[in-house]
């Protein structure tokens, strides 16, 4: 049974015709043959579905508009009808906000029965009218909720946990992408990069002519969304490019646990972790995404390590990491995501291997406003704040609050409403917006006072 269905169309008639055509197209299975040397080789039949999906995805990425439908159940005989209902429902909205999430379907029995949420977005404008959309890409999918596979090994009786492997799309990563707000179109840039890597591979581009390491480095201060962005990207890749692969796996490496008290064992641990990934990558219809968070702990500059008399075991780890990245480069179905708070200490060889190096910094005032607005909308929707549609008044106060919050990280901003809420004396099951505004303003003052004290303490 299909787990997704993709439709791209500019009119209702086109969407009907195209969805019927896609409903009969499938990914051909991999045939494993045995040659005279008893070595298995993979023979992939010409894949008509991939050839059809590539131009449809290219059109969707060009328009920057996706409609992703998180379904409770995906019934084969209802996919086309469900896609049509989603198309009609979105058209009825009239005007769409950026990264809009729809979870209430009035008078839509089919959507209420089968759909959890509809995610609309990735277009760069704040608002867009449905009658101005050139096309719509509808993707139906169902998330998994199984526990991740834990990578463990026992060395001299000492258990070490290297990392986890999730099968995507997973419920744990749902909605991460939508919560992220950036000043620059970072999300669309990352998605375009991944799609281009896959597109070049499907076109059999010679990698000796056009190089590609399939590695991304995100750097910047803590709390600005680097790790969340990586997890959200992995989830979106597994949803939007499901027509191109059968399976998606997400690996998260626990860098700190790789280091062992036994000499040279740290580099062996890193090799063990990548061995499993290499085996899975041998299946060309499986796409693998690796996250190495705070990669500076594994890739500290070898020059500075030697000058500061660092243990040679650290040099082994850096060399092993670079070797493994070079080996994985031979596979086209892999993406390596790395993050760092201290890019200045990372070995230059790793930086040189990164195709994209993007700075993720604190949000601007406009982005802070969007974050606060999303937080207030969530509290109002869950009936913790009572609001009488005073949208303009709330908007003005959110702007003032955003100006006062300039310079704070996204993590701090998203914690602020909860901390402020906990300081409000409640006499009912809800509070008024004005109460939360005052409490948040006071918490911002406290936060700045704390930062000023710490800064003075560090200067002494």
**pLDDT at residue 315 in the model:** 83
Bridge partners of residue 287, in order along the sequence:
248
**pLDDT at residue 60 in the model:** 82
Q: Where in the chain is the domain with CATH 3.10.330?
A: 52-142
For the record, the structure tokens of 428 come out as 């009912």
With contact defined as beta carbons under 8 Å apart, do 180 and 187 qualify? yes
Q: Which helix (H) or strand (E) holds 161?
A: strand 158-168
Q: Where in the chain is the domain with CATH 3.40.50.300?
A: 149-359
CATH of domain 52-142: 3.10.330
**pLDDT at residue 335 in the model:** 97
Q: Residue 282, class by beta-carbon neighbours within 10 Å (0-12 exposed, 13-18 middle, 19+ buried)?
A: exposed
**pLDDT at residue 281 in the model:** 95
pTM of the model: 0.85
Please tell me the distance from the alpha carbon of residue 116 to that of residue 25, in angstroms, as a whole number.
26
Please list the ranges in the chain whose pLDDT falls under 70: 1-47, 64, 98-99, 123-126, 131-135, 153-158, 256-257, 259-265, 301-313, 389-390, 453, 457-460
- Helix ranges (H only) for 42-185 are 48-63, 79-92, 109-114, 176-179
For the record, the structure tokens of 109 come out as 């029995």
**pLDDT at residue 273 in the model:** 87
Q: What are phi and psi of 253, to 5 degrees?
A: -85, 130
Please tell me the distance from the alpha carbon of residue 448 to that of residue 4, in angstroms, as a whole number.
47
**pLDDT at residue 451 in the model:** 78
What does the pLDDT look like over 251-283, one tens digit per residue? 999 776 676 555 566 788 888 889 989 999 999
Bridge partners of residue 250, in order along the sequence:
166, 289
CATH of domain 149-359: 3.40.50.300
Residue 274 CA to its chain's centroid (Å):
21
Residue 416 CA to its chain's centroid (Å):
23
With contact defined as beta carbons under 8 Å apart, do 404 and 394 qualify? no
Please tell me the distance from the alpha carbon of residue 201 to that of residue 333, in angstroms, as a whole number.
9
Rg (the chain; Cα; Å): 24
What does the pLDDT look like over 4-28, one tens digit per residue? 444 444 333 444 444 444 333 322 2
């Amino acid at each position: 049974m299909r787990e997704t269905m993709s439709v791209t169309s500019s009119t209702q008639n086109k969407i009907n015709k195209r969805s019927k055509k896609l409903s009969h197209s499938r990914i051909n299975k991999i045939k494993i043959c045995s040659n005279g040397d008893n070595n298995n080789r993979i023979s992939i039949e010409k894949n008509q579905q991939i050839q059809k999906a590539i131009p449809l995805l290219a059109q969707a990425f060009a328009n920057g508009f996706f409609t992703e439908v998180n379904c409770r159940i995906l019934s084969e005989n209802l996919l086309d009808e469900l896609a049509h209902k989603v198309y009609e429902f979105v058209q009825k909205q009239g005007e769409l906000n950026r990264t809009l999430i729809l979870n209430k379907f009035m008078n839509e029995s089919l959507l209420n029965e089968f759909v959890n949420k509809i995610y609309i977005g990735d277009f760069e404008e704040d608002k867009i009218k449905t009658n101005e959309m050139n096309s719509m890409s509808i993707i139906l999918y169902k998330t998994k909720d199984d526990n991740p596979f834990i990578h463990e090994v026992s060395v001299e009786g000492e258990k070490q946990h290297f990392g986890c492997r999730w099968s995507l799309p997973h419920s744990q990563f749902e909605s991460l992408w939508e919560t992220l707000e950036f000043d620059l179109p970072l999300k669309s840039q990352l998605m375009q990069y991944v799609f281009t890597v896959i597109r070049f591979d499907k076109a059999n581009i010679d990698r000796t002519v056009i190089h590609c390491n399939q590695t991304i480095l995100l750097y910047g201060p803590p709390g600005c969304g680097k790790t969340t962005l990586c997890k959200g990207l992995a989830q979106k890749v597994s949803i939007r490019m499901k027509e191109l692969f059968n399976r998606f796996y997400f690996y998260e490496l626990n860098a700190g646990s790789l280091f062992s008290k036994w000499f040279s064992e740290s580099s062996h641990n890193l090799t063990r972790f990548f061995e499993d990934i290499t085996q899975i990558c041998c299946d060309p219809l499986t796409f693998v995404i690796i996250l190495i968070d705070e990669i500076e702990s594994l890739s500290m500059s070898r020059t500075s390590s030697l000058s500061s008399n660092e243990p040679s075991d650290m040099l082994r780890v850096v060399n092993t990491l670079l070797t493994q990245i070079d080996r994985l480069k031979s596979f086209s179905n892999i993406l390596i995501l790395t993050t760092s708070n201290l890019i200045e200490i990372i070995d230059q060889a790793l930086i040189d291997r990164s195709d994209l190096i993007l700075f993720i910094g604190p949000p601007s005032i406009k982005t802070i406003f969007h974050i606060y607005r999303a937080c207030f909308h969530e509290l109002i929707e869950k009936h913790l704040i009572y609001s009488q549609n005073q949208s303009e008044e709330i908007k003005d106060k959110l702007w003032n609050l955003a100006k006062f919050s300039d310079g704070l990280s996204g993590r701090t901003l998203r914690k602020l409403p909860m901390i402020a809420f906990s300081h409000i004396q409640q006499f009912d099951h809800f509070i008024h917006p004005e109460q939360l505004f005052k409490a948040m303003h006071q918490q911002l003052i406290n936060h700045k006072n704390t930062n000023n004290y710490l800064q003075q303490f560090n200067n002494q």
